[in-house]
């Protein structure tokens, strides 16, 4: 589509200005076709950047540079003219200064490369809940991933030609090629030159220096959360870091559930749940992001703005998430995994014994005796959501699905019970605002430290988080008695000896069943200082051989331990200064009173 004539003047002008700045060898307009994908992938195979996988049809593996393996939070900026608007949880940079620095880096940064223009839709093309973005990039790896993760192509160009608004997303790997210079297998800029910058007042994203994941696939965290959260606040909707699933009971009633969990808390596993209780069915609408608007009937409706899964590979197995494993059998991209001698990918905790020999993510020989892991801890798969065996038939419904239940959660070995229902919307916002997890090896920081991650949005909220909490209260006021019910879960309770108290995985459906029956008014809840807990007879334990003392411990509220939490919550709230909503402070005071 290099001969495409753009009829959207604003877009055409931006592309021309970017080309003048970045000086690419050529400009290519992406059409989103299979032929385009296959051609770009063949080019990357020929250059040695991509490796076809013999064992998986139309699947390819990439190895990134060891300096470019994950989102770089300390190089990610939220840029408002007034630093206060970015808030205490974001890195801030003055817009003029940041743009001047990056414009210097962009000067000639695409020399010797093709500049790809990717028109894409977040959400079903043409839906009132969707947004259009245009990403300019010099990375064919990014183009192929965006093919899977978003909706690229003619339908989006048609809307742009009719004058549709778009969010400009500029990306470069920051590795210009001099004449005759051989390209690297993963070109990128050094860490000190990486910038992932957001200008929420202009709906603008600039990214430089990294070719990996959320730093480069700008539809994902950059647009769908950081920019979208700011747009959603202005326009009166919600952009959340949440899975969406449909649960259908034996009578055929559908419940739609969204859930926000920090990393390493089983979010993707829950999105693709296989219930262990007879007659209940789960279908996946989305595993990572939910955009929600109030519908004509006053209820909250959600879409998954993405078209694919960009999942962490290590730990994914048929034991932990069979539906994810079935989703990546073909037409998928793998990054920083190990490669077996048979020509397949492998990572830690995959099913079966490890291979006797493999090539690790750095391209070195690996055996089970090696001291380093075979796959990088943040190795990824990119797969079309349509390939998930339990994808919901309505996952692309333009009007979205009506939400009945919000779930928050975290990884806590003690203190927090298996499940708690909020007393009301304000109490539910308090639960989300105080969500916390004990850090694991996958998180930054010492293992076992308590890290508060409000609404699992800490790295993704595009404005001051105190204002974000207030936006939740405003949405609740508008929803009134049609607001979803709010619950908090903790699948990770342990005994004093460090053994799991709850089996988790498919058995989490038992907890979801109680939530659905609470919505229907079929079961009760015991009032406690921290919220409503299930009566033990109301949790469906059929077929589960769980010792009675385990269940008692899972549903216990230790008031002493909860009192000890209060100072940490108070300290957490102090961060937000005078922008902390008084309603949140009131919830803390009420919890303190209930605890006595």
Residue 144 bears catalytic tag: no
> How many Å apart are CA 455 and CA 458, to the nearest integer?
8
- Answer yes or no: are the C-beta atoms of 270 and 245 closer than 8 Å: yes
> How many Å apart are CA 257 and CA 244, to the nearest integer?
6
Say how far residue 52 (Cα) sits from the centre of its chain: 27
Backbone conformation region of residue 236, classed left if phi is above 0, alpha if psi is from -120 to 50, else beta: left
Which residue is catalytic, options 222, 265, 337, 461? 265
Contacts of 414 (CB under 8 A, 6+ apart): 493, 494, 558, 561
- Answer yes or no: are the C-beta atoms of 417 and 556 closer than 8 Å: yes
CA distances from 429 to 67, 435, 468 (A): 38, 10, 11
> How many Å apart are CA 448 and CA 414, to the nearest integer?
11
Nearest to 267 by CA among 554, 544, 447, 491: 491
> How many Å apart are CA 477 and CA 334, to the nearest integer?
44
Our CA dihedral for 368, 370, 371, 376, rounded to 10 degrees, sits at -80
Contacts of 33 (CB under 8 A, 6+ apart): 153
Q: For 347-374, b where at least 16 C-beta lie within 10 A, e where not — what string?
A: bbebeeebbeebbbbeeeebeeeeeeeb
Backbone conformation region of residue 363, classed left if phi is above 0, alpha if psi is from -120 to 50, else beta: left
Provide the 10 A C-beta neighbour count for residue 122. Answer: 27
Q: Which residue has the tokens 């262990």?
A: 276
Q: Can you give the three-state secondary structure of 206-242, one letter per residue? A: EEECCCCHHHHCCHHHHHHHHHHHHHHHHHCCEEECC
> How many Å apart are CA 544 and CA 277, to the nearest integer?
9
Q: Which two tokens stand for residue 74?
A: 């300390």
Instruction: Supply the residues annotated as catalytic.
Output: 265
């Amino acid at each position: 589509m290099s001969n495409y004539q753009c009829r959207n003047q604003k877009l055409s002008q931006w592309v021309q200005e970017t080309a003048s700045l970045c000086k690419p060898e050529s400009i290519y307009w992406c059409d989103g076709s299979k032929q385009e994908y296959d051609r770009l992938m063949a080019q990357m195979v020929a250059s040695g950047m991509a490796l076809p996988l013999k064992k998986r049809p139309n699947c390819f593996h990439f190895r990134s540079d060891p300096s470019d393996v994950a989102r770089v939070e300390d190089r990610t900026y939220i840029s408002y003219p007034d630093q206060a608007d970015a808030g205490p949880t974001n890195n801030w940079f003055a817009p003029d200064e940041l743009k001047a620095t990056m414009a210097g880096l962009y000067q000639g940064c695409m020399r010797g490369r093709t500049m790809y223009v990717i028109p894409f839709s977040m959400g079903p093309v043409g839906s009132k809940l969707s947004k259009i973005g245009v990403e300019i990039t010099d990375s064919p790896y990014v183009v192929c991933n965006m093919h899977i993760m978003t909706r690229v192509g003619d339908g989006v160009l048609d809307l742009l030609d009719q004058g549709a608004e778009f969010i400009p997303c500029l990306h470069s790997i920051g590795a210009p090629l001099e004449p005759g210079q051989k390209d690297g297998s993963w070109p990128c800029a050094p860490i000190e030159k990486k910038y992932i910058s957001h200008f929420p007042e202009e709906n603008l994203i600039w990214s430089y220096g990294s070719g990996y994941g959320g730093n480069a696939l700008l539809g994902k965290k950059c647009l769908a959360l950081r920019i979208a959260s700011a747009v959603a606040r202005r326009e009166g909707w919600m952009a959340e870091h949440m899975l969406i699933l449909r649960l259908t009971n034996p009578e055929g009633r559908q419940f739609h559930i969204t859930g926000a969990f920090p990393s390493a808390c089983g979010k993707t596993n829950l999105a693709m749940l296989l219930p262990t209780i007879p007659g209940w069915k789960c279908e996946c609408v989305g595993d990572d992001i939910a955009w929600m608007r109030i519908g004509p009937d006053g209820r909250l409706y959600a879409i998954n703005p993405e078209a694919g899964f960009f999942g962490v590979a290590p730990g994914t197995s048929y034991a932990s998430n069979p539906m994810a494993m079935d989703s990546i059998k073909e037409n998928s991209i793998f990054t920083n995994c190990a490669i077996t001698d048979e020509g397949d990918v492998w990572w830690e905790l995959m099913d079966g014994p490890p291979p006797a020999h493999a090539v690790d993510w750095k391209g070195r020989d690996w055996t089970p005796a090696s001291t380093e892991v075979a796959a990088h801890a943040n190795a990824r798969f990119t797969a079309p959501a349509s390939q998930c065996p339990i994808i919901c038939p309505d996952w692309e419904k333009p009007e979205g699905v009506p939400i009945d239940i919000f779930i928050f959660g975290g990884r806590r070995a003690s203190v927090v019970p298996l499940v708690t229902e909020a007393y009301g919307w304000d109490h539910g916002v308090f639960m989300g605002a105080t969500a916390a997890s004990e850090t694991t090896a996958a998180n930054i920081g010492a293992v076992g430290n308590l890290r508060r991650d409000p609404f699992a949005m800490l790295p993704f909220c595009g404005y001051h988080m105190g204002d974000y909490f207030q936006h939740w209260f405003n949405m609740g006021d508008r929803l009134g008695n049609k607001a979803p019910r709010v619950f908090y879960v903790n699948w990770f309770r342990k005994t004093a000896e460090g053994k799991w108290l709850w089996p988790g995985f498919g058995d989490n459906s038992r907890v979801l069943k109680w939530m659905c029956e609470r919505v229907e008014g079929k079961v009760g809840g015991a009032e406690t200082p921290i919220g409503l807990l299930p009566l033990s007879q109301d949790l469906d334990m059929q077929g589960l051989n769980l010792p009675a003392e385990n269940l008692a411990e899972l549903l216990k509220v230790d008031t002493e331990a909860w009192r000890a939490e209060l100072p940490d919550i108070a300290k957490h709230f102090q961060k937000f200064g005078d922008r902390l909503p008084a309603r949140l402070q009131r919830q803390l005071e009420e919890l303190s009173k209930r605890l006595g």
